[in-house]
Structure 1
């Protein structure tokens, strides 16, 4: 079966959606689809090197990538009002080229981009929309049109399904995000990983690998770093004996975060790193932290963060803030759950990992066992079966 994965996105990108799109295209091929990724021809993001898209993400299974004409206004800042106009001009430019490209072609069109879906002819192709957030204007005629056109809706969390089901009456598939198990099950020692990354061998390392958006809740982990202490065998360790490493983020967010952490000698903010290095950073860590923001619905109810599955696959003990979206996958048996937005609770959870090695080993082994069902291939197969039914 031919599947056109439509993504109006610049690829490669430092953002997580790029990983998700590319990994799903690879998985769709493994699941039996003839998958073709259709994207706009645009300038590359800074910091993504010169490698091709497939090489950047380290893929082994190849698939066709087609770049179609699209206006590109990246780097142009005319203020909020005119930037929105440029955004919509780009959207229409891409969908116009998309309609021309798909004319006369048959197959399944799959996309995270609801605008592209809304502009396509549902009579010629089966259309599927994968939603990662809940639209604010869900009652609008635009979304009613999308719902009439699509053959199925895929969402990444039960929270999304619950809210969408009030407006979309057909079947909704919940397909949480996934991970490449082989890529994150690194077969080297922690010490070797630290040597390769030039990280200290004599410190405990707490890692956060992901973006620094406000709704990600990373400010709480930075607050923990300011006064963190723990003890081993009743010997009090100092703040300097623990290194808090933040990997990821856009240039703008990283700059802001570095300003907030100014003067903290136990914080290392690395910014964006090549995706194939992330497994090494997780291997080098003693504790992986998953933060959120309970006041933001996308964090509390809707998200299915890639880092959660990557943490689980790495075998690193997880300390996670307790949110319904996270609990769809993790629980007390495979991680240490602490109250969200409570820095004292977060610090206590990290201390527990350091001070109770037996518990840390037990939850990391259980999380690795539990993540086996969250591979990209199993996700693609689940979506394929949903399409058949």
Structure 2
């Protein structure tokens, strides 16, 4: 494939702890690792950025193989998005890329497409919320004014179906690219402060600590399985205080707090089993692509995951034990099965890891996106 000059436009705060900023940085690095020249455009928002970060690439754990250009985005109500989008257009005109790609800022993509640049837009949500009314009207123009060449990337099949139905898009013009993960090179190193857990059975969760994210399930598991240690990575001080109170401060739950993304692999290495308890996922997450599960599979750690339609878009019984959220006994039985059956655990690890390599790495995702564009 011809090597491309790609401009990736984002509105993500970089550096920050947000999942979308991680996705943006990883995608840019993956495009670059395939031999393409990549420039990331992101807003300059010093007050909102993560403090104490000296090296953005190191913070995200990505290779320094692409350029980041920060564009000033003034905090002026109703105007800041528009001003930022025009600044992106000016940068695109200077760079003259083969492809403009990215997410969130539809006005910037409308402008670059209108200026004659090949432009691909990625969506992870719909436009139903009232705050997206203006974005939706611009998206309709984006589609209408380039009826023969438009392309759209979604992260779930359900979202593709939504866009095809609501905006009369042809199926071949919309491509599903599930979210992705890095594949670690180190499967042995554990955190220095966790050496005391090396010879115990460790169960882990890495992610947000908001309600309905499944921490309730983990607390019940810890209460019923006192010989196992449950490690929860993520959340701020208030989140941790809340869940400690909810758990009654039992001694087999360990809250590690927020960990730099490049260091979380060590906590996955620590664990014998990883949990992805999405409570009522079908009701709460219309278009979720479960990044957590891809990270778990890539870590060569067996996983127990909530069973739901949206999870089954990408996950099946060959790579995870799927259980009903409301049946705590099923969660307990699944954990005990993985504790006792080493052959089953090994088989689950091997199948999940291979499935992840083929479908859910950032390089695999970027290849699929570029193949779609070529077609």
Q: What band does the TM-score fall into relative to the shorter chain?
A: 0.7 to 0.9
User: Structure 1 pair 259/117, CA: closer, same or farther in 2 (3 Å)?
Assistant: farther
Which residues in structure 2 correspond to 1:211-290 (within 5 Å)? 211-214=208-211, 216-225=213-222, 227-229=223-225, 239=226, 241-250=227-236, 253-290=239-276
Which residue pairs with 2:152 in the alignment?
153
- The structure 2 residue matched to 1:371, chosen from 356, 360, 370, is 356
Does residue 134 in structure 1 map to residue 126 in structure 2?
Answer: yes
Q: CA RMSD in A?
A: 2.6
Does residue 346 in structure 1 map to residue 331 in structure 2?
Answer: yes
Which residue pairs with 2:87 in the alignment?
97
Segment of structure 1 superposing worse, 169-178 or 89-98: 89-98
Alpha-carbon displacement from aligned partner over 1:330-371 (angstroms, at most 9, x marks no partner): 211221110134333223222221122221121112111211
Q: Give TM-score, length-normalised by structure 2.
A: 0.86
- The structure 2 residue matched to 1:125, chosen from 111, 117, 123, is 117
Which residues in structure 2 correspond to 1:53-72 (within 5 Å)? 53-71=56-74
Unaligned stretches of 5+ in structure 2? none
| SS of residue matched to 1:340 | coil
Which residue pairs with 1:232 in the alignment?
none
Does residue 361 in structure 1 map to residue 361 in structure 2?
Answer: no
2:297 and 2:352 in contact (8 A); partners too: yes
Which residue pairs with 2:204 in the alignment?
207
Structure 1 residue ranges (4+ consecutive) displaced by more than 6 angstroms after TM superposition:
none
1:118 and 1:145 in contact (8 A); partners too: no
Higher relative contact order, structure no. (Cα contacts within 8 Å, ≥ 6 residues apart): 1
> How much has 1:145 moved relative to structure 2?
2.7
Distance in 2 between the 1:133 and 1:213 partners? 20
Query: May I ask how many residue pairs the two structures share in their alignment?
Result: 359
| SS of residue matched to 1:302 | coil
| SS of residue matched to 1:304 | coil
Unaligned stretches of 5+ in structure 1? 73-84, 230-238
Does residue 193 in structure 1 map to residue 190 in structure 2?
Answer: yes
Which residues in structure 2 correspond to 1:35-50 (within 5 Å)? 35-43=38-46, 49-50=52-53
1:31 and 1:377 in contact (8 A); partners too: yes
Distance in 2 between the 1:90 and 1:262 partners? 46
> How much has 1:198 moved relative to structure 2?
4.4
Does residue 385 in structure 1 map to residue 375 in structure 2?
Answer: no
2:92 and 2:112 in contact (8 A); partners too: no
Distance in 2 between the 1:46 and 1:228 partners? 41
| SS of residue matched to 2:292 | helix
